[in-house]
């Protein structure tokens, strides 16, 4: 008899513990409740950046557009174009990359890669013809969320471009700012 009484107290105690830790707000079967709010897409953003390209040793200015692929913004497509300013010469580059963001819309690290096209003169003479070569790029950076509640978010980025048909492999480090469009 003693053992049965102890077992009944143990089972009752376990049941009370389960009742205490079970969530109380169970609304799964109720009618007339509000619809669950859907997750908003992260905004498309556009931005400008300046930096330095250490392979041809020149300053860089560029623009980019960041388009979220997933609603959370963890995967983005980045389309960007920049100009490298050299002595009596300008080189143009276009990138299309996919990046994975480790943070949220409030900022974080990102890493990715994609395609690159660079238009420049090949040869030592300024009269040499321009040519566009293609390749791929690896990009990584750090972006912050909006500054003091504004839609402006700064970024620090490193991009390494590997071009086919040439030994030129530009490495750009840049600092920029993006603005969310909505």
3-state secondary structure the chain: CHHHHHHHHHHHHHHHHHHHHCCCCCCCCCCCCCCCCCCCCCCCEEEEEEEEECCCCEEEEEEEEEEECCCCCCEEEEEEEEEEEECCEEEEEEEEEEEEECCECCEEEEEEEEEEEEEEECCCCCCCCEEEEEEEEEEEEEEECCHHHCCEEEEEEEEEEEECCCCCCCEEEEEEEEEECC
Residue, of 162 and 6, whose pLDDT is higher: 162
Residue, of 63 and 40, whose pLDDT is higher: 63
* Spans of all domains in the chain: 45-180
Domain topology for 45-180 = Porin (2.40.160)
Q: Is the pLDDT of residue 79 over 90?
A: yes
Q: What is the band of 171 on the pLDDT scale with cuts at 50, 70, 90? A: very high
Q: What is the band of 1 on the pLDDT scale with cuts at 50, 70, 90? A: very low
pTM equals 0.74
Mean local confidence (pLDDT), 106-124? 87
Q: Is the pLDDT of residue 68 over 80?
A: yes
- Gap between the Cα atoms of 81 and 177, Å rounded: 15
Cα 147 off chain centre by: 17
Q: What is the band of 107 on the pLDDT scale with cuts at 50, 70, 90? A: confident
């Amino acid at each position: 008899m003693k053992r049965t009484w102890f077992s009944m107290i143990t089972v009752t105690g376990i049941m009370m513990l389960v009742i205490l830790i079970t969530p109380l707000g169970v609304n799964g079967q109720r009618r007339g409740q509000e619809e669950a709010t859907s997750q908003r897409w992260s905004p498309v953003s556009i931005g400008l950046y300046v930096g330095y390209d250490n392979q041809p040793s020149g300053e860089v200015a560029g623009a980019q557009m960041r388009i979220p692929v997933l609603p959370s913004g963890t995967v983005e497509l980045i389309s960007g174009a920049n100009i490298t300013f050299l002595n009596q010469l300008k080189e143009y580059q276009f990138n299309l990359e996919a990046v994975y963001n480790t943070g949220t819309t409030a900022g974080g690290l990102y890493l990715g890669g994609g395609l690159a096209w660079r238009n420049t003169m090949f040869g030592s003479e300024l009269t040499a013809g321009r040519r566009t070569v293609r390749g791929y790029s690896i990009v990584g950076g750090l972006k912050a969320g909006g500054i003091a509640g504004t839609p402006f978010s700064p970024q620090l980025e490193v991009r390494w471009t590997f071009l086919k048909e040439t030994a030129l492999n530009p490495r750009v480090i840049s600092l920029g700012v993006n603005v969310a469009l909505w």
